[in-house]
Chain A
Amino acid sequence: QKEVEQDPGPLSVPEGAIVSLNCTYSNSAFQYFMWYRQYSRKGPELLMYTYSSGNKEDGRFTAQVDKSSKYISLFIRDSQPSDSATYLCAIKEAGKSTFGDGTTLTVKP
């Protein structure tokens, strides 16, 4: 079993929709929870990180962590065509990072 499992997608939504991206993890020792966005042919960019259960909001993006269920989510409100990318969850323990396989999102105008 993988340490981090990500809903595979792909996802295709109309512009303005709310998008939910999800990951589960198995190791309770994980300390930090990240979401990255990767455009085609580019390196990932860090969107959000958190280290506690609960919600963290940044503009249209909300990261949610439930440590008791070992479940993390990223919500995108009012999705835009420019949000079309692959989204990767990642979980960190000290310096070691484990990534999900990514979910490719397409937002159609």
Chain B
Amino acid sequence: EAQVTQNPRYLITVTGKKLTVTCSQNMNHEYMSWYRQDPGLGLRQIYYSMNVEVTDKGDVPEGYKVSRKEKRNFPLILESPSPNQTSLYFCASSSLAGVSYNEQFFGPGTRLTVL
């Protein structure tokens, strides 16, 4: 089954304690991206990756890091989380075959609370 998985699904942590949210896809997609979703603000892109070892900033990259060492994985790292990073996080992947974005999948989301 084609899918994007995220772990953990729920996390409560404290300010300053480093954490990693994992994202993995099984569709051999080149493109992967992280978003955060906050009430009334829609989805905002944090980072994206067009392929292995290629990452770029989205609209809200401050306080986050990513890496793309393998095609299937795109972890999101919060080195020193702060309460303003409390949010719902989504990972997504899509194929870049041709110029088609038809095949695009989102993960189930990770609800993060930073106290």
Chain A residues near B (Cβ < 8 Å): 6, 32, 34, 41-46, 49, 51, 88, 90, 92, 94-102
Q: How far is the CB of B64 from chain A (nearest CB, A)?
A: 15
Chain A at the B interface: SS class: strand
Chain B residues near A (Cβ < 8 Å): 4, 31, 33, 35, 40-45, 48-50, 56, 58-59, 90, 92, 99, 101-102, 104, 106-109
Residues of B within 8 A of A43 (CB): 4, 90, 92, 106-109
* A96 close to B90 (CB less than 8 A): no
Interface residue from A44, A45, A92, A95 paired with B43 (Cβ < 8 Å): A44
* A97 close to B109 (CB less than 8 A): no
Residues of A within 8 A of B101 (CB): 32, 34, 46, 49, 92
Chain A's closest residue to B108 (CB) is A43
Interface residue from B35, B102, B106 paired with A49 (Cβ < 8 Å): B102
Inter-chain CA distance A49–B59, complex, in Å, is 21
Residues of B within 8 A of A97 (CB): 33, 35, 43, 45, 48, 58
Q: How far is the CB of B37 from chain A (nearest CB, A)?
A: 9
* A44 close to B106 (CB less than 8 A): yes
Chain A's closest residue to B102 (CB) is A49
> Can you list 16 contacts pairing A with B, beta carbon distance less than 8 Å?
A42-B108, A43-B92, A44-B43, A49-B101, A95-B48, A95-B56, A96-B56, A96-B58, A97-B33, A97-B48, A97-B58, A98-B45, A98-B59, A99-B43, A101-B40, A102-B42
